[in-house]
Amino acid sequence: MPRRTIAVFVVTVLLPLLGVTAAHADPPAPAVARLDHTEHITDRRTALFVYSPSMNRVVQVQVLHPSWQGPRPTLYLLDGVSAGAESDYRESTWTQKTDIVDFFADKNVNVVLPVGGTASYYTDWRNPDPVLGTNRWETFLTRELPPIVDAEFSGNGTDAIGGLSMGATGAMSLITRHPDLYEGVAALSGCLDTSRDSTRDSVRGTVAYKGGNPDNMWGAPGDPAWKEHDPYVNAEALRGKDIFISTGNGLPGPYDLGATSDVLTVGAPLEAGAFACTITFDRRLRELRIPATVEYRPWGTHSWRYWQDDLRSAWPTLARALGLSAR
């Protein structure tokens, strides 16, 4: 009996006799993200509201883009721990705290700024959290969102990713887990080595700081999922990528003169922690002979004016990854 005839016999005769329908044999296709609505802020800045089936909610992302037409690459930039909470999630903290809109105004690139994701590390959480909700950011950023961005803004399929603080850790984790998606990465003041108890506790403390239960993210500290998301452990995936990493060291710098007390009492130790994580990650890349641009500022706390400067320093590396001029 020909194979096609056998297949028809199984589907139409045998499976029904066993109580199995064709629908059961072929599971339904997964739900697809869709563009819920768009708000045009300026001719070079647009807010997309995208329904994410994995998170079962509408997520805002703001896109900085040229006013002219034509194919172009895309840079995804992730936020810090508050992730837009300062504006009640109306916009990214990048656009509130830096001159990023002006900086990219003359560059032929889409810059995607997710709004929201407080203390999420932009990863897929194992369980919904009573305080932080359902977080499936890895699925959203790597599968659901890119086709919509490319369709709406002439994306050419060449992407890079970056972030600061929590977003730096998230960006480096995403590129090591999805090296086929991104050509380069910029990590500003992030903890890129969570292989040690102290650094793992730092990540868990960030989640707890915003009221979340860190066990809902990657499980308890000894869970294998922590290694699966650790850029240090998975650094080999960065081979061939354009890499930029920067950090201060917690010492007061030019932007800290007259700063509020929380910048010094909180921002200084946070940046010192990022400095320590960067050293071990830098050493790991050197052991693997993976080239990277690593900048150690001689000062600086964990604060936005330094990150604005760091983004400018990172741009030549990101531009190279995206196939653009660094002008």
Q: Which residues are catalytic?
A: 165, 271, 302
Structure tokens belonging to residue 251? 């010492």
How far apart CA 262 and CA 265 sit, in angstroms, is 5
Write the DSSP symbol of residue 234.
T
Q: Where are the beta strands (DSSP E) in 80-229?
A: 110-114, 155-164, 184-188
Whose CA is closest to 326, among 318, 316, 314, 311? Answer: 316
Residue 199 neighbours by CB distance under 10 Å: 21
Q: Half-sphere exposure (CA, 13 Å, Cβ side) for 250?
A: 13
246 in Cβ contact with 313 (< 8 Å): yes
Give, in degrees to the nearest 5, the angle at Cα 271 between 268 and 274. Answer: 155
How far apart CA 172 and CA 148 sit, in angstroms, is 23
35-41 LR contacts (CB < 8 Å, sep 24+): 35/148, 35/152, 38/152
Task: With both helix axes pointing from N to C terminus, report the angle between 197-209 and 268-287 in degrees, rounded to the nearest 10.
Answer: 140
Given the structure tokens 């900048």, which residue do they identify?
Answer: 295
Q: Half-sphere exposure (CA, 13 Å, Cβ side) for 237?
A: 20
How far apart CA 204 and CA 128 sit, in angstroms, is 16
